[in-house]
Structure 1
Amino acid sequence: MSETYSYLGPSGTFTEAALAQVPEAEGKDWRSVNNVGEALDDVVSGRSVAAMIAIENSIEGGVTATLDALANIPGLRIIGEYLVRVQFVLVARPGTTLDEVRVVNAHPVAYAQTRKWLDANVPTHGHIPSTSNVAAALALFENDLADAAIAPPQIVQHHALEVLAENIADNANAVTRFVLVSKSAAVPAPTGADKTSIIAELPEDRAGALLELLEQFSTRGVNLSLLQSRPIGDALGRYRFVIDADGHITDERVADALLGVRRFSPHILFLGSYPRADKAPVQYTARYDDGVFLEARQWLAALIAGEPEA
């Protein structure tokens, strides 16, 4: 039986472009799904060995549907991350010209990221929200309510659409971060350019609680690249925090920080340690080298054993 990978479809999405970066997925079956919940259910049920899902956007921040799903579905691990540059094109049915565009189909996020271009180039346009970037384009074939759509550039590789304008995103540096999620409990080996993701709850709603959580990392020289709060849902003021820490769980400084969080937090969920998409080596000062932690542990062991101090 062939291995299957799930992704938010249909063909032509940014998620598919992220999955195309996974060497292990090449030549395997790819299953198009409608939402994050369906993608993760494929993994939990065993229909797929892994699922590619969006977790963070450089403009919009964390993807709340993904963060909440990871917090509430046990047994999932992030095994890799991938970056896709967010580019948009304005597409239309063949024969349509830009000056004929009056109404535009667009996913609300895509619309927000191209609004300045649309206001400058199609100043009197109307907007019809769509459920996805690809759905916005495909709706042009289903009805004539809109004249054009905001879509990913790769859409024209799959559907007979005409590009009216390219590179219409207001921020040319926008990037979406995707993660590959599986049920594998095995942690990938450290590379020196790694990231560790956890979800932790505060013990109580009081002044200084969040600071105490963050101090578990700062006092060990561990930098955080993502800190996103999400409501737990059981009461007002109760939050869990999605945290991305620079480093691998086998790094002494990261391991020690996680032990501190484990002692502090009533509930901590380890999402995985995995290679960074940008392959940038993790930077930290020498006083947080593995050897420093190991020497301190040996010093304590010697004191407990009653050995004379050197």
Structure 2
Amino acid sequence: MLTIATLGPKDTFSDIATKQYIQAIQNKKPVQQAQIQYYGTLAQTFEAVGKECQLGVLPIENLSEGYVQVVLDQLLNTKLFVISELLLPIQFSFVGFCDELTQLTDLYVQFVAHGQCSEFINALEGVKVHNSQSNMESLILAEEKGESAGAIIPQHALSQVQNATIINNDVTNYANNQTRFLVISETPLDRVAGKEYKTTLVVNNKQDCPGVLGNIVSAFALQKVNLTSIMSRPTRSQIGNYHFFIDIDGHQEDSNIAIALSEIQATYDVTVIGSYIKAVN
């Protein structure tokens, strides 16, 4: 039985992404059985991989909000591997348990969803905003609070709402909002011929060398490697010292990527977190 860690409770976007991944692997190998194990925070979800679960599915990047920092920080020092990515459309709704929106005093919203619905939230006056760990937790907390409370939840969860008196079907800032999820594992997957790949790596700037970012970009540019994203994170050793989290097009075994990585590794500590099949929009 394959066990997969994800952010709970049921019907979070992480849960939906996990179920999509399970469907994809079962289409390739119908006998493969999988069970989802839910966790209360993203950090707990990540830490369960390789211990209580074989795989984990975690959000890494949102179209409007950028990287999910708690997951990014876990990846910077991990010995796990990224084996797949998924793209999931993300739309949010508001549900209120008061008769009128002007009676709303407390709003519950997941900490990442907060930024994706900021235009709606900022338009509210005199409302205390409570950040939760998951979208479904927001609904649970609002229902427990009762009258004068509301929650921002995934559109697909509206069917679970009871006793709401106000529903705004779409409070998302962007109509084409989506989140990228990574599947992480203890072991990497073998390369599949004929597939487009993406590689994720971390350059650890422990030596505090000058010009590290320019040297990295130059090494990839000389080999005509396309950098799809680069994100800096503090090393927490001193101000102004950063690690770099990088996504590139291609597989780490491609000759041009291997040459570029070899050049960078001559000066910096590089960890390749994984090469995996690129998700299609």
TM-score bracket, shorter-length normalisation: 0.7 to 0.9
Assess if the C-alpha contact under 8 Å between 1:50 and 1:183 holds in 2: yes
- Structure-1 separation of matches of 2:127 and 2:206: 50
Assess if the C-alpha contact under 8 Å between 1:97 and 1:164 holds in 2: no
Identify the match of residue 28 of structure 1 among 26, 34, 47: 34
Greater strand percent: which structure? 2
Q: Which residue of 1 aligns with 2:62?
A: 57
- Structure-1 separation of matches of 2:194 and 2:264: 24
Assess if the C-alpha contact under 8 Å between 2:110 and 2:133 holds in 1: yes
Asked if residue 138 in structure 1 is aligned to residue 140 in structure 2, the reply is: yes
Unaligned residue ranges in structure 1 (runs of 5+) = 280-310
Shift of 1:160: 3.3
Assess if the C-alpha contact under 8 Å between 2:12 and 2:154 holds in 1: yes
Residues 1:158 and 1:5: Cα distance change in structure 2 (over 3 Å): farther
Assess if the C-alpha contact under 8 Å between 1:79 and 1:181 holds in 2: yes
Alignment of 1:210-225 (within 5 A): 210-225=213-228
Q: Secondary structure at the match of 2:170?
A: coil
Asked if residue 77 in structure 1 is aligned to residue 81 in structure 2, the reply is: yes
Identify the match of residue 91 of structure 1 among 88, 95, 100: 95
Shift of 1:190: 4.7
Assess if the C-alpha contact under 8 Å between 1:213 and 1:264 holds in 2: no
Shift of 1:12: 1.6
Q: Which residue of 1 aligns with 2:266?
A: 263
Assess if the C-alpha contact under 8 Å between 2:85 and 2:182 holds in 1: yes
Residues 1:96 and 1:191: Cα distance change in structure 2 (over 3 Å): farther
Residues 1:272 and 1:142: Cα distance change in structure 2 (over 3 Å): same
Larger Rg: 1
- Structure-2 separation of matches of 1:68 and 1:270: 15
Assess if the C-alpha contact under 8 Å between 1:105 and 1:130 holds in 2: yes
Identify the match of residue 154 of structure 2 among 152, 156, 174: 152
- How many residue pairs get aligned? The number is 273
Identify the match of residue 41 of structure 1 among 47, 62, 69: 47
Q: After alignment, is 29-38 or 137-146 more displaced?
A: 137-146
Matched letter for residue 49 of structure 1: Q
Shift of 1:27: 5.1
Unaligned residue ranges in structure 2 (runs of 5+) = 27-31
Shift of 1:233: 1.7
Shift of 1:49: 1.6
Q: Which residue of 1 aligns with 2:29?
A: none
Identity score, percent: 26
Assess if the C-alpha contact under 8 Å between 1:3 and 1:29 holds in 2: yes
Q: Secondary structure at the match of 2:20?
A: coil
Alignment of 1:186-201 (within 5 A): 186-201=189-204
CA RMSD, Structure 1 to Structure 2 (Å):
2.4
Identify the match of residue 66 of structure 1 among 71, 76, 79: 71
- Structure-2 separation of matches of 1:89 and 1:214: 41
Shift of 1:188: 3.4
- Structure-1 separation of matches of 2:173 and 2:220: 35
- Structure-1 separation of matches of 2:254 and 2:163: 50
TM-score after normalising by structure 2: 0.87
Asked if residue 12 in structure 1 is aligned to residue 14 in structure 2, the reply is: no
Residues 1:73 and 1:202: Cα distance change in structure 2 (over 3 Å): closer
Matched letter for residue 34 of structure 1: G
Matched letter for residue 47 of structure 2: D
Matched letter for residue 107 of structure 1: Q
